[in-house]
C-alpha cells in the first residue's frame, strides 16, 4: 500500500513536524565524525523550506535511556545543519518544554528548529500518549523521514501520528521503501543476497525469509562458524554463537527445501590472534586448527561469491564478510563490494544496508556505484524479513 508523501501536500504556511534520523557518530571530542545521515534528509528538509513552511525536526542520538546525557546532545547536529542550509536553524534545549515552545513561537516561514535528543525523555521509547500529543502540538503536518527508526514503535514514529494528520513519508523514506520494496515484491532475477556479520542471532528471521525469496543466499562473517559447528567441523578459536546452534540447524534444514541455494564459504583466512600482526593462513573450512580463528573468507570463496554476484540482476548486501576494520582481513569484503558495484554497472538493482557494510562501501569509494545505500540497519533487516514496520504502518495511505 502506497503511503502519502511530501509531494502530495501543499505545505505553504504550514508547520511541519518531521522525524529524522540524526543518530550520527561522534568522535572523542564530541564532533560529528560522519554527517551522512544529516545529508540524507536534506532533500526533504529543503522541500519543506522551499514550500514556505516552518520546520520542526526531531531525532534521537545514542542511547541515553531516558536521562539527559550532555555528550549525546544534538547541538553539534544543529550547528552542522546550519552550515548545510542557507536559512536559519534554531536549537531547543529540550523536546516539549519551555525552550522548545519559545523557539517554535518565534519561527518564521522557511526557518528550521531542531529539538533536543528525544531519548532524553523515557516517554519517547515508551510511546507515551501525553508526550506524543505534546510533540504533535508543534505541527500541522507530520512527516517521517527516519527509515532507520521505522521498526520502533516510539512516540515520535508512531504516537505522533495518532494526534496529527496527515502523516506522510519523507523523500528519504519513500526512496527506502521503493528500493527495498522492489527486492521483495518484484526483484529482477537472478536475485542474490549476501549476509555477513558476527552472529546468527538477530538475523534469523531475515535468513529464513530470504531463503524463500532470493535465488542464492551467500553467508560470510563470523556467523559462518556457528553453521560449521552444526556440521560437526572443528572451528578452532573462531567465533561461535552457542545460543544459536539449534537455530542454525533449523536454517540448514530449511535450506534443503527452500527456493534459495544457501552457500557457505569453502575456505577462510585464519590467524593465530585477533590482530593485524598475527600469523595468517588460508585453509579449507575443514582444516581450521586449534588455536586459530577465522577472520575472513578465503580466495576460493571469493571467486565463487563473485561469480554468483556477477550473474545477478538484483543484489542485497548486509554485513561485512570478514573483519574488514583490520586491513589484513578486509580482502573478502573488498571483493564483495567491488563485485556488487560491477554488477550494478551492468544494470543490476543493488541495495546495501547495515552500518558496517555501508561503512565498507564508503571506505572503498564504491557508494556512487550502488543503486541504493540504505540508512536503516535494523529497519532494513526487518523489512527484508517481511516484517511490518510500525513507523511505516502509522503513515497515512495515499
For residue 219, the tally of other CB atoms under 10 A from its CB is 25
In 199-311, DSSP assigns E strands to 216-219, 261-263, 267-271, 280-284, 293-297
Q: In this predicted structure, what is the pLDDT of residue 313?
A: 98
Note the pTM of the prediction, 2 decimals.
0.92
Catalytic residue (one of 75, 101, 133, 199): 199
Strand-strand pairing, 293-297 and 267-271: antiparallel
Q: Give residue-wise pLDDT tens across range 318-347.
A: 999 999 999 999 999 999 999 999 999 999
Q: How confident is the model at residue 1 (pLDDT cuts 50, 70, 90)?
A: low
- Cβ contacts of 94 within 8 Å, gap of 6 or more: 100, 115, 116, 120
Q: How far is CA 257 from CA 260, 261, 357, in A?
A: 9, 9, 29
Q: What is the pLDDT of residues 18-66, one digit of tens each?
A: 999 999 988 888 899 889 899 999 999 999 999 999 999 999 999 999 9
Please indicate whether residue 386 is annotated as part of the active site.
no
Can you read off the three cell numbers belonging to residue 302?
571469493
Instruction: State the catalytic residue, choosing from 306, 355, 369, 386.
Output: 355
Q: How far apart are CA 5 and CA 395, in angstroms?
A: 9
Query: What is the per-residue DSSP string for 189-202?
Result: SSEEEEE-SS-STT
Q: How far apart are CA 134 and CA 239, in angstroms?
A: 47
Q: Scan for cell 504533535, then name that residue.
A: 136
Strand 267-271 relative to strand 280-284, pairing: antiparallel
In a 13 Å sphere around the CA of 329, the CA atoms on its Cβ side amount to 29
Q: Is residue 378 flagged as an active site residue?
A: yes
19 is catalytic: no
Residue 236 region, left (φ>0) first, then alpha (ψ -120 to 50), else beta? Answer: left
Domains, the chain: 6-172 (3.40.50.1260), 179-384 (3.40.50.1260)
Tens of pLDDT, residues 84-135? 999 999 999 999 999 999 999 999 999 999 999 999 999 999 999 999 999 9
Whether 37 sits among the annotated catalytic residues: the reply is yes
Is residue 328 within 8 Å of 280, Cβ to Cβ?
A: yes
Burial class (CB within 10 angstroms; exposed 0-12, middle 13-18, buried 19+) of 192: buried
Beta-strand ranges (E) seen in the chain are 15-19, 54-58, 89-91, 112-114, 141-144, 167-169, 191-195, 216-219, 261-263, 267-271, 280-284, 293-297, 314-318, 349-353, 372-373
Tens-digit pLDDT profile for residues 148-206: 999 999 999 999 999 999 999 999 999 999 999 999 999 999 999 999 988 898 899 99
Residue of 3, 19, 37, 80 with catalytic role: 37
62, 66, 97, 378: which is the annotated catalytic residue?
378
**Phi/psi at 192 (5° precision):** -115, 135
Residue 116 near residue 95, CB atoms below 8 Å: yes
Amino acid at each position: 500500500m502506497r503511503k502519502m508523501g511530501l509531494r502530495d501536500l501543499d505545505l505553504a504556511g504550514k508547520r511541519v513536524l518531521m522525524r529524522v534520523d540524526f543518530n550520527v557518530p561522534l568522535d572523542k571530542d564530541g564532533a560529528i565524525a560522519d554527517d551522512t545521515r544529516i545529508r540524507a534528509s536534506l532533500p526533504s528538509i529543503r522541500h519543506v523550506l522551499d514550500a514556505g513552511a516552518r520546520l520542526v525536526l526531531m531525532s534521537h542520538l545514542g542511547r541515553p535511556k531516558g536521562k539527559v546525557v550532555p555528550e549525546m546532545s544534538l547541538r553539534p547536529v544543529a550547528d552542522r545543519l546550519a552550515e548545510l542550509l542557507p536559512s536559519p536553524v534554531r536549537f531547543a534545549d529540550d523536546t516539549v518544554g519551555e525552550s522548545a515552545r519559545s523557539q517554535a513561537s518565534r519561527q518564521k516561514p522557511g526557518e528550521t528548529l531542531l529539538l533536543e535528543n528525544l531519548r532524553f525523555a523515557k516517554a519517547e521509547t515508551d510511546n507515551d500518549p501525553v508526550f506524543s500529543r505534546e510533540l504533535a502540538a508543534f505541527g500541522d503536518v507530520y512527516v517521517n523521514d527516519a527509515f532507520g527508526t521505522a521498526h520502533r514503535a516510539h512516540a515520535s514514529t508512531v504516537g505522533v501520528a495518532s494526534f496529527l494528520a496527515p502523516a506522510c513519508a519523507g523523500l528519504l523514506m519513500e526512496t527506502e521503501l521503493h528500493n527495498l520494496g522492489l527486492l521483495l515484491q518484484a526483484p529482477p532475477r537472478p536475485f542474490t543476497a549476501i549476509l555477513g556479520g558476527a552472529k546468527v542471532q538477530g538475523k534469523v528471521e531475515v535468513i529464513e525469509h530470504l531463503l524463500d525469496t532470493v535465488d542464492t543466499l551467500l553467508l560470510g562473517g563470523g556467523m559462518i562458524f556457528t553453521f560449521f559447528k552444526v556440521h560437526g567441523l572443528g572451528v578452532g578459536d573462531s567465533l561461535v554463537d552457542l545460543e544459536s546452534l539449534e537455530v542454525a540447524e533449523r536454517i540448514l534444514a530449511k535450506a534443503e527445501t527452500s527456493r534459495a541455494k544457501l552457500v557457505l564459504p569453502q575456505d577462510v583466512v585464519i590467524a593465530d590472534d585477533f590482530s593485524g600482526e598475527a600469523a595468517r593462513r588460508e585453509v579449507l573450512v575443514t582444516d581450521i586448527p586449534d588455536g586459530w580463528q577465522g577472520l575472513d573468507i578465503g580466495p576460493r570463496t571469493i571467486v565463487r561469491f563473485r561469480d554468483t554476484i556477477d550473474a545477478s540482476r538484483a543484489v542485497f548486501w548486509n554485513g561485512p564478510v570478514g573483519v574488514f576494520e583490520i586491513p589484513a582481513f578486509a580482502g573478502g569484503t573488498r571483493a564483495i563490494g567491488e563485485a556488487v558495484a560491477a554488477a550494478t554497472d551492468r544494470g543490476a538493482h543493488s541495495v546495501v544496508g547495515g552500518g558496517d557494510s555501508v561503512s565498507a562501501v564508503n571506505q572503498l569509494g564504491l557508494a556512487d556505484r550502488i543503486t541504493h545505500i540504505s540508512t536503516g540497519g535494523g529497519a532494513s533487516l526487518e523489512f527484508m524479513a517481511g516484517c511490518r514496520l510500525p513507523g511505516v504502518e502509522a503513515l497515512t495511505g495515499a
